[in-house]
Amino acid sequence: MSAIDEVLQANAAYAAQFAWGDLPAPPTRRLIVLACMDARIVVSQILGLKPGEAHVLRNAGGLVTEDVLRSLLISHYLLGTREFMIMAHTDCGMMTFTDDDLFRRLRHETGTAVVTPTRFFAFRDLEENVREQVQKVRSHPWIPATISVRGFIYDVKTGRLREVSA
Amino acid sequence: MSAIDEVLQANAAYAAQFAWGDLPAPPTRRLIVLACMDARIVVSQILGLKPGEAHVLRNAGGLVTEDVLRSLLISHYLLGTREFMIMAHTDCGMMTFTDDDLFRRLRHETGTAVVTPTRFFAFRDLEENVREQVQKVRSHPWIPATISVRGFIYDVKTGRLREVSA
């Protein structure tokens, strides 16, 4: 059976005992979390979040891309979030390759050059990278200074978060 | 106390009973899920996913943006995923505004015009939008035809997923 068909079976069991049908859309903790797509990261468990409490953004690396800024602006201006938590993690796959290598490999394997994505944003220094992501949010002219922006590193071996100082 | 400080307390409790420290990075179900950032959506619960099983991407709307393609390519080529599940949901905030209105509001409230984000991708028709997202992935020259791409709508009132036919 395909993985999607397996999770659809799990969803039928979830729906059968579903108890969250009356939650409003605005996150009750006024929190938005950005984390890496990494399979070992289950944001709701790591942060003790229940349905309805926080917006969650995820991409490769937990990076502040244009898409993350798009989502963050919608989250703040239309749905009232006011704290932004950025969560990188140890053993991140983004530190295992370079953009140039991956672009070359894709062109070679597929025989095709493409326009987008224009970058993969591979990086080398985990802590410095978190600082850069925080800075990208803080310096955006449409993000009010009243929004709290803090960066963290999640340790996949211990389950513990550590704040990255500015 | 700030919401971030609250979830850090929850994380200390999580780390104290952490039992997933030896998981490898490649998702064991070879699955990648894209969902909206909506606070009512807890992907791991809705799909019965345990840590280590699937990559998870999330943004405003669960839309296939350049950032999602970036993440999907990294997920497939470097970490071996081969099924891609796109999950929109009922009562989505992306159907409550227009890009023009939000750009105008942000320029007015902040007194500043900006270059990015260039679009918010608000939409009107939920089902048609899911079809478009599936198509964006299927038509990308770097996404192999062997990757299964399927689109779904999650009902926030019932907890149930429904597949959108192509």
The residue of chain B with its CA nearest to that of A82 is B3
Distance from CA of B104 to the nearest CA of A (A): 12
Any bridge partners for residue A32, and if so which? A55, A84
pLDDT at residue B7 in the model: 98
Quote the pLDDT of residue B123.
Answer: 98
Rounded Cα–Cα distance for residues B51 and B44 (Å):
8
**Taking all residues of chain A, what is their mean pLDDT, rounded to a whole number?**
97
DSSP-assigned states of every residue in A93-151 = GGGS--HHHHHHHHHHHHS---SS-------S-HHHHHHHHHHHHHT-TTS-TTSEEEE
Report pLDDT digits (tens) over B52-67. Answer: 999 999 999 999 999 9
CB contact under 8 Å between A56 and B66, yes or no, is no
* φ, ψ (nearest 5 deg) of residue A149: -125, 120
Is the per-residue pLDDT at A61 higher than 90? yes
Distance of CA A12 to the CA centre of its chain: 27
> Amino acid letter at A139?
S
Cβ of residue B75 closer than 8 Å to a chain A Cβ: yes
Mean pLDDT of the residues in chain B: 97
Compute the nearest-CA separation of B107 from chain A (Å). Answer: 8
* C-alpha separations of B154 from B27, B42, B95 in Å: 23, 11, 15
pLDDT digits (tens, 9 = 90+) for B131-159: 999 999 999 999 999 999 999 999 999 99
Flag whether pLDDT at A166 surpasses 90. no
> What confidence score (pLDDT) does residue A58 get?
99
Beta bridge partners of B163: B152
- Asked if pLDDT for residue B166 goes beyond 90, the answer is no
Q: Which residue of B has its CA nearest to A110?
A: B142
Instruction: Over range A57-73, report the average pLDDT.
Output: 98
A146 contacts chain B (CB < 8 A): no
Instruction: Provide the residue ranges of all domains of chain B, joining segments of one domain with +.
Output: 23-164
CB contact under 8 A, B23 and A40: yes
Q: Cβ distance B47 to A7 under 8 Å?
A: yes
Q: How buried is residue A61: exposed, middle or buried, by Cβ count under 10 Å (0-12/13-18/19+)? A: buried
- pTM, two decimals, is 0.98
pLDDT of amino acid B119:
97
ipTM above 0.90, yes or no: yes
Tell me: pLDDT of B101 over 90: yes
User: Looking at chain B from residue 125 to 144, which residues have their Cβ under 8 Å from any Cβ of chain A?
Assistant: 140-142, 144
Which tokens sit at B23? 């998981």
The helix-helix angle for B66-79 and B126-138 (nearest 10°) equals 50
- pLDDT at A43 (0 to 100): 98
| Contact call for A73 and B120, based on CB within 8 A | yes
Q: Could you tell me which CATH class the domain B23-164 is placed in?
A: alpha beta
C-beta atoms of A20 and B32 within 8 A:
no
